[in-house]
Structure 1
Amino acid sequence: MGKAGRVACIFTPYVLTIASLICIIFVGLGCTKSSSNTLNNLYFMRINLQNITSEGSETVTEIENLLEEYGITDVSAQNVSDVLSKLQDDSTLADFYQIGLWGYCDGDISNNKTNVTECSKPKSEFYFDPFSVWGLDSSDIKDELPSGYNKVMKIYKAVSKWMFIAYLVAFIATIVEIVLGFFAICSRWGSCVTTIFALLAFLFTAAASITSTVLFSIFKSSLGTTLKAYGISLSMGKNIFAATWLAVAFSLAALIFWTFSVCCCSGRSPYGDRNNNATRGVTAEKAPYTYEPLGAGQVPYGHQQPTSYPPPAAHGGQYPMTNTNQRSNAYEPFRHS
């Protein structure tokens, strides 16, 4: 397979790698621009506070049993009610908050339609601290929080930091993979190096996607049911999770095809180079019923080897009718192969 075949072999994983990069970029652009409806629909989780109330729809006993079911033993229903009562009185709260990779956005809800009004400034290793976002750090509201709140926030901060780093490494590795893809056209060594970065990009893309999915799924399952009784609803964004898992699928497919390009699709021509140096030996097989001239010492079948006699002296040491300029095999007999 020549250069044209090599280019065709590299084209598929190259396109898949670009598709994976585009999906990762969409994940990173979520919740970064309030004026873009497309980017506003890219969020990991939305916290809806429109119908917040301090009086839960369930009894105190039911709420406490629900908290114990999820292992939250140092929180009482009264603690939750007191905290939400102070939040309800805060007029600066937005109707909803959306959490992205670099920051968050907030806005209002009217006629069941969300309208993003503001997005935070992008920040590396971002994590959503509700009391910091709502400006309640200096308030005595934290006195109502359980003792395990700080521990939970530390875990959430550490996991969010790892998730951000994983997405960043996946983004950089994918770009390097695209750059090295040019060199993969020239040789299998280029494909080998590209495959290494393709593996790195796939591992970190998958790790980031798994972390984000598990993290916000736990939040929704553990806190969503409890807070729903107080008019707070949690929902996970479908678009951003579709983008991140599409990035994983494209990255995996690209890795498979890059690996295939290492083993196959050589860029060398089997017919030789410009100096006519063939890379593969071509042997011509003789077809049946062909004729070839007899070599030295060969005679037709059924004939005896003639005896060698010296030329007669009368002709000056030469046989008559002999032309020395004629081809040596002009009248040579042929044999059947």
Structure 2
Amino acid sequence: MVNAGRVVCITTPFLLTIGALLCLILVFLAGSIDRSSTLDSLYFAKLDLSNFTTTASANLAGGTTGANLSVLGGALEAAKQQLNMYDYYTLYLRGYCGWNGDDLYANCSSPQTIFWFDAISIWGLDSNTTGTEIEDLLPSSLRTGLNTYEKVSKAMSIMYIVAVASTAATVLVGISAIFSRWGSFATTIFAAASSIFTLVASVVATALFFTMKGMLNETLEEDYGIRADVGNKGYIVTWVATAFAVGAGLFWLLSVCCCSGR
């Protein structure tokens, strides 16, 4: 027979866990439906190419750096003219959206399990006819930053996957906590994994895209008019998920010690 006091005891952590799971699902679904202002506004970063120009790089004085920027600018200009580049891009956990003008959140990519925004491939810069690898034309700081971004993005994707899986497992195992504190003990193990991975994923996402914003603006805005910004709603959702997951973990732990099922 289920004890009423036991049910009351686990209601709070159970609801917090469900809240964390729903927020994480929103992060996963963001950017997966064309022109969905509700989901697609939950982006982590935004690229603004509406003021794209190659004038500055083309007019640079001679030298290796100036020549590289000029060639890179020409490749970007060609990609822009061939419609491989949109005016705006929003980046999400599992994909991106790109559009021109006021057609918000259009042309969303198919969601990927492990995603990073490979601009060279997406913009068709890897098929340039200059005979030079585009990566070799990038400033060393930007090249290093993009390599780091790729690796961290892949790790971040795995963290979010584990966070969703452990949070969903907490909900399922949490049903057993209705009957005893042993059930709470088992649930607490999954809840601990949920809170840790959700917290780490949120920290990594925040640090990654804020760092990328500064790096891209420093290296691309002046010469090419390409500006990066970060979103607000996407971070709000992931940090609310973190708050729910951490709170749920604490309450699940308390339920191990309190409210006997007998």
TM-score range, shorter chain: 0.7 to 0.9
Q: CA deviation at 1:101?
A: 1.1
Determine which structure has greater relative contact order: mean sequence separation of CA pairs < 8 Å that are 6+ residues apart, divided by chain length.
2
Q: In 2, Cα distance between the equivalents of 1:123 and 1:43? A: 15
User: Which residue pairs with 1:204 in the alignment?
Assistant: 197
Q: Which amino acid aligns with 2:173?
A: L
2:208 corresponds to 1:219? no
2:175 corresponds to 1:175? no
Q: In 2, Cα distance between the equivalents of 1:253 and 1:34? A: 34
Residue segments in structure 1 that go unaligned for 5+ positions in a row:
62-74, 269-337
Q: In 1, Cα distance between the equivalents of 2:47 and 2:176? A: 47
Q: In 2, Cα distance between the equivalents of 1:127 and 1:100? A: 9
Q: After superposition, what is the alpha-carbon deviation per residue over 1:74-111, rounded to whole angstroms, capped at 9, x for unaligned? A: x935533542343134321211111111111100124x
Given candidates 231, 234, 246, the residue that maps to 2:240 is 246
Q: CA deviation at 1:146?
A: 3.6
2:229 corresponds to 1:235? yes
Aligned length: 250
2:26 corresponds to 1:12? no
User: Which residue pairs with 1:289 in the alignment?
Assistant: none
Q: CA deviation at 1:117?
A: 2.4
User: Which residue pairs with 1:165 in the alignment?
Assistant: 158
Alignment of 1:28-107 (within 5 A): 28-56=28-56, 76=65, 79-89=68-78, 90-91=80-81, 92=83, 93-107=85-99
Q: CA deviation at 1:222?
A: 1.8
Q: In 2, Cα distance between the equivalents of 1:55 and 1:88? A: 10
Q: Which amino acid aligns with 1:87?
A: L
Give the conservation status (yes or no) of the 8 Å contact 2:89–2:99. yes
Alignment of 1:173-322 (within 5 A): 173-229=166-222, 230-268=224-262
Give the conservation status (yes or no) of the 8 Å contact 2:36–2:105. no
Q: In 2, Cα distance between the equivalents of 1:179 and 1:109? A: 45
Give the conservation status (yes or no) of the 8 Å contact 2:20–2:240. yes
Is the deviation greater in 132-141 or in 14-23?
132-141
Q: CA deviation at 1:225?
A: 3.1
Q: CA RMSD in A?
A: 2.3
Q: In 2, Cα distance between the equivalents of 1:124 and 1:150? A: 24
Cα distance change, pair 232–151 in 1 and its aligned pair in 2 (3 A)? closer
Q: CA deviation at 1:30?
A: 1.1
Q: In 2, Cα distance between the equivalents of 1:42 and 1:18? A: 19
DSSP 3-state at the match of 1:137: helix
Q: Which amino acid aligns with 2:176?
A: F
